[in-house]
Amino acid sequence: MQPVDEYLNDTSPERFLHIYECLAERGFGPLDGEVAKLLKFRPQAIRKLPMDQRAKKARSLLQHRSDLAYELLGSYLIKTNRDLITDFLDATGIEHDEGMIEDVEEGLPDESKLEATVSELDQKHTPEDVTLYLSMCAYQWPQSEGLQKLWKARSAAKT
């Protein structure tokens, strides 16, 4: 199972609802189009369902769709806590443009700086968001042993 899938499986329904609501625009959640198709609703009719029900259906759509989960979680962090992303990237030596990495394959975070960076992020940012971002990093850079180790320790501590 991919780290972003693990994160979604382990996060509470309330936390996922918060993420989903943060990405809503004009009353529509980020995956409401897909939820409407699944429920055989017209796109406009989906707004009749409470947001928590739409979020629950959207979460089920994300199962085994790591790429889509990664995009949704990344959108949430870019919108609500871009500094977390830029702080991590700056501290670990990854070139970026306001949190956007041009070539993910090109560089890896500096392994020697990972533990200290995550510790600093926990002090500066919401630990829930740090955990979310760590799942994304472990997904994005599966070849980084340091990230995999940090993610496994972090996810094990949640269970």
Domain ranges within the chain, ordered by starting residue: 9-64, 81-159
Q: Give the confidence band of 44 by pLDDT, cuts at 50, 70, 90.
A: confident
State the average pLDDT over residues 64-73: 92
Query: CA-to-CA distance for 102 and 152, rounded, in angstroms?
Result: 27
Bridge partners of 100?
97
State yes or no: pLDDT of 5 exceeds 80: yes
Which is nearest to 58 in space by CA: 76, 45, 39? 39
Upper half-sphere CA count for residue 149 (Cβ side, 13 Å): 8
Distance (Å, whole) CA 143 – CA 113: 16
Mean predicted confidence (pLDDT) in 30-48: 89
Flag whether pLDDT at 54 surpasses 60: yes
Q: How far is CA 69 from the centre of its chain?
A: 7
pLDDT value for 158: 66
